[in-house]
Amino acid sequence: MTTTRVDRRLRDFIRFHTHVTQPETSERRQQINTNEVIRKLDLIGMQHLPLPIIWDGVHLIDEGKVASKTEITRRTRLTYRMRMWPPTRWLDDYFDWSVRDADWYFQLANLLREINFDQIKGRTDIDRAIANVAVIATAKRSLVLGIPVDALVQQINWALEEVGQLEADEVELLECLPAEHLLKPTDQMDIEQMSKDRGIPSIQLVETIDTRGRIASLLSGCFGGMRKETAEKEIHPLAIRRLNVASRMLAEPSLEALARVSRIANEYVAFRPRFEKKMIPAADGDQTRMRMMQSFDELPKMAPSAWAIKVASSKYFRYRLATKSFMVREKIKRSDRKQLFYAMLDRSKSMQQGERIYKLLAILMNRLRAVGRREAILGYSFFDSQVHPEVMVTEVDQVREEIRKLTYEFFVGDDTDINLAIREGIGRIQAIVTDTQAERPELIIVTDGDHGINVQAKELKGIILHVFIVEEVNDDLMKLAIETGGVALQEL
């Protein structure tokens, strides 16, 4: 994103901040160590912020009320006069220099009334306060840039709503995603398709993108830009990492399409990993469990208490033995077999149109989350007129690396051959199931192709097929996926 600079007008309004929330004292604020908040702010690049902004961030957590115009004017006057020389204060009694920015603070107060701060989620009050500070500082600087208050409120609330429910693994994958210009050159953005996806006129979309870009630059600038990985343990609160993603979503419109399609995929139960922790009987097992007797061959495995019954009442013992109602010990071990997903991803030239690349990435990242949660293993290959080498992702630390590798060059292939991709995917799945500890394989096709399909459902040999067709229609492919019991979506 391009850096937005604020000029020197309203210098004091940028430098100072008269807190606009009430009450003046708060039990919650007294419980929070202000020095701890400042230390965390320094660690994530939000240095030298006025202390009243921090107080406002904490007051909003405590459901503080925004002060009235009279109260804001009083605080503004007091704040500015504290920084004046005695002779200047005497002149201020006549010229009211100290209240020249009161209207700007009142606009800021009205703006904060409309922002949905409850969308900011954090593990602790300190984390939420830091995120509140970033939003307040962004709103303040955006006012100086001349961004209309209604547009500012709308965009900030939209961004907070988009990222408010993101889980830690989703944030991590989005952070690893290459910048928009690496996936799709900005001069090739399809404004018409983007406006169609969002249901708004293209002229309105262009104006919105410009406004969002300026807000994103200011929001990102509050905490030193995008988070950088270090060898140290993660110190950035998840609330702030979500705001980093929010700044990217504002600056990179195509991320909207990615988030939307990913959430659509999450809604389908049939597309969720069928992960089960299994304990299977094994002579060399490292754990023991008790179960009911199944045959008389298991007499040596009976618990010692069962033999005590024989001494007390042999008749009752024989009855229990005849009905196989004794418990026996059994050695077991954990099964490490995971579900296998294999994705065939279209990299033909037509995938460069619209926001198809991001919609494809949405499905890929959705399955990578399952690997990150240790619920599945994922193999995937790109295809066009031929199928390209496969990539296997079996370990958690591979997930982020695979996301970083994806660039625009992946999507400059030839024409699409979906039938070849399906048949090759079936063969590769069978080879993987034979060689690895994987089960219940499912094949995923992501394409924009509308070509006829001659693959029969019986060729999949029990493999479930999921189909995601981006911005196009393919009834034959949809029918094939439905026959196998998979998810079938088109015109994404």
Q: Output the domain CATH number for residue 375.
A: 3.40.50.410
Greatest mean pLDDT among 35-49, 146-160, 220-234, 399-413: 146-160
Reported as a single tens digit per residue, the pLDDT across 271-298 is 888 766 666 677 777 778 888 888 888 8
Reported as a single tens digit per residue, the pLDDT across 346-360 is 988 888 887 888 889
Examine the domain organization and report whether 349 and 329 are in the same domain: no
Of the residues 335, 353, 377, which one is the last residue of a structural domain? Answer: 335
In a domain, 313, yes or no: yes
Q: How many Å apart are CA 410 and CA 403, to the nearest integer?
A: 12
In a domain, 465, yes or no: yes
The answer to whether residue 144 scores a pLDDT higher than 90 is: no
Examine the domain organization and report whether 361 and 413 are in the same domain: yes
Examine the domain organization and report whether 383 and 397 are in the same domain: yes
The residue to which tokens 């994922």 are assigned: 378
Examine the domain organization and report whether 89 and 217 are in the same domain: yes
Examine the domain organization and report whether 323 and 356 are in the same domain: no
Examine the domain organization and report whether 354 and 440 are in the same domain: yes
Q: How many Å apart are CA 290 and CA 423, to the nearest integer?
A: 46
Q: How many CB atoms lie within 10 A of CB 449?
A: 24
Max distance between CA atoms of the chain, in angstroms, equals: 110
Pairing of strands 488-489, 464-469: parallel
Greatest mean pLDDT among 9-18, 74-83, 296-305: 74-83
Examine the domain organization and report whether 59 and 95 are in the same domain: yes
Reported as a single tens digit per residue, the pLDDT across 193-213 is 777 777 777 666 777 888 888
The answer to whether residue 228 scores a pLDDT higher than 60 is: no
Global pTM reads: 0.80
Reported as a single tens digit per residue, the pLDDT across 362-399 is 999 888 888 888 888 888 998 988 888 888 888 877 88
Of the residues 292, 312, 335, which one is the last residue of a structural domain? Answer: 335
In a domain, 355, yes or no: yes
Q: How many Å apart are CA 54 and CA 203, to the nearest integer?
A: 38
The answer to whether residue 156 scores a pLDDT higher than 60 is: yes
Q: Mean pLDDT, to the nearest integer, of 65-92?
A: 88
Q: Is 252 exposed, middle or buried (0-12, 13-18, 19+ CB in 10 A)?
A: buried
User: What pLDDT score was predicted for residue 223?
Assistant: 67
Q: What sign results for the dihedral spanned by CA atoms 14, 15, 21, 27?
A: positive
Structure tokens given for 302: 């009976």
Examine the domain organization and report whether 319 and 357 are in the same domain: no
412 or 386, greater pLDDT: 386
Confidence of residue 468 (pLDDT cuts 50, 70, 90): very high
Examine the domain organization and report whether 330 and 344 are in the same domain: no
Confidence of residue 135 (pLDDT cuts 50, 70, 90): very high
Q: How many CB atoms lie within 10 A of CB 400?
A: 16
DSSP tag of 348: B
Confidence of residue 235 (pLDDT cuts 50, 70, 90): low
Q: Is 397 exposed, middle or buried (0-12, 13-18, 19+ CB in 10 A)?
A: exposed
Q: Mean pLDDT, to the nearest integer, of 309-337?
A: 80
Q: Mean pLDDT, to the nearest integer, of 8-27?
A: 75
Q: Mean pLDDT, to the nearest integer, of 328-340?
A: 76
Reported as a single tens digit per residue, the pLDDT across 165-201 is 888 888 888 888 888 777 776 666 777 777 777 777 7
Q: Mean pLDDT, to the nearest integer, of 213-222?
A: 84
User: What pLDDT score was predicted for residue 160?
Assistant: 92
Looking at the chain, the whole-number percentage of residues with pLDDT higher than 70 is 87
In a domain, 257, yes or no: no
DSSP 258-280: HHHHHHHHHT-GGGS-----EEE
CB 303 within 8 A of CB 403: no
Number of domains in the chain: 3
Of the residues 335, 356, 373, which one is the last residue of a structural domain? Answer: 335
Task: Classify 367 in phi/psi space as left (phi over 0), alpha (psi -120 to 50) or beta.
Answer: alpha
The answer to whether residue 229 scores a pLDDT higher than 60 is: no
The answer to whether residue 118 scores a pLDDT higher than 70 is: yes
Range of the domain at 310: 283-335
232 or 144, greater pLDDT: 144
User: What pLDDT score was predicted for residue 408?
Assistant: 65
User: What pLDDT score was predicted for residue 186?
Assistant: 66
Examine the domain organization and report whether 292 and 350 are in the same domain: no
In a domain, 35, yes or no: yes
Of the listed ranges 3-12, 64-73, 398-407, 438-447, the least confidently predicted one is 3-12
Reported as a single tens digit per residue, the pLDDT across 250-266 is 888 888 888 889 888 88
Estimate the crossing angle of helix 149-163 against helix 238-251, to 10 degrees: 120
For all residues of the chain together, what is the average pLDDT?
Answer: 82
Q: How many Å apart are CA 404 and CA 429, to the nearest integer?
A: 25
Examine the domain organization and report whether 269 and 194 are in the same domain: no
In a domain, 258, yes or no: no
301 or 226, greater pLDDT: 301
CB 143 within 8 A of CB 107: yes
In a domain, 259, yes or no: no
Q: What percent helix, strand, coil does the chain show, rounded to 5? A: 55, 15, 30
User: What pLDDT score was predicted for residue 449?
Assistant: 82
Q: How many CB atoms lie within 10 A of CB 442?
A: 24
Examine the domain organization and report whether 29 and 154 are in the same domain: yes
